[in-house]
Each structure stands twice: as C-alpha cells, then as structure tokens.
Amino acid sequence: MANRHRGEIEAELDGKHYVLCLTLGALAEIEHAYGGEDLLAIAERFEQGRIRASDAIRVIGAGLRGGGNAVSDDEVAQFRVDGGAAGFIGIVADLLKATFAVEDAPPKKP
C-alpha cells in the first residue's frame, strides 16, 4: 500500500498494481536522463503541458524503480494502462504531485 506522506503512489500498469516513488536516487536518474537539467526546469516544462511519451516512460520508470520494482524503461514502454496516453500522463502528474506537494505542511509563521 502506498504512503503519500513518503511520496508514494499506486498505479495499475498492464493489470498489475505497483507502488511508485520518486526517491532522491530516482530524481537524480531523471536529471541525468535530461543531461543534467535541474528538476525545477523539468517540472516547469511539465507544468506547461509539454510532456512527451519519452518523458512519461522516464518518470514512470524512475518511479517504479524508486518504489522497489526491477522494471526497465523498455518494459515501461510496453505497458498498457486504462485511459491510454491520458492514463500515463495522469500517473506522471499524480507521482509528481505526491513528490513535490506541500499540501499537508504546517502554515509558515509570519
């Protein structure tokens, strides 16, 4: 079972349930895949709706490995999910939200 407080989500890929988590190592893997581009620049591009299929493969793959699953990006590229392409983008969005959201953070004192 996924623990959102640790940045984990659950996703069904090819009919199998997985826990995904963008650990520090998974985030470094994503930075490396983008030639050392920093996470803020990558996240800003995604927020602008500029996400490619290869982006989804990289983020989902890194999240799967961060969640303890031995799955390659080539295997991720072959997965099917409910909702097709929109389903994959939904997984990426949910994973990024779980990783970077500060919704439950206590309010800052003035």
Q: What is the DSSP letter of 25?
A: H
Domain boundaries, the chain: 4-100
pTM (global) more than 0.75: yes
Please provide residue 95's backbone torsions phi and psi, each rounded to the nearest 5 degrees: -65, -45
Q: Express each pLDDT in 3-53 by its tens digit.
A: 988 999 999 999 999 999 999 999 999 999 988 888 888 878 887 878 899
| DSSP letters spanning 54-98 | HHHHHHHHHHHHHTT----HHHHHH---TTHHHHHHHHHHHHHHH
- The 10 Å Cβ neighbour count of residue 13 is 22
Predicted confidence at residue 87, as pLDDT, reads 95
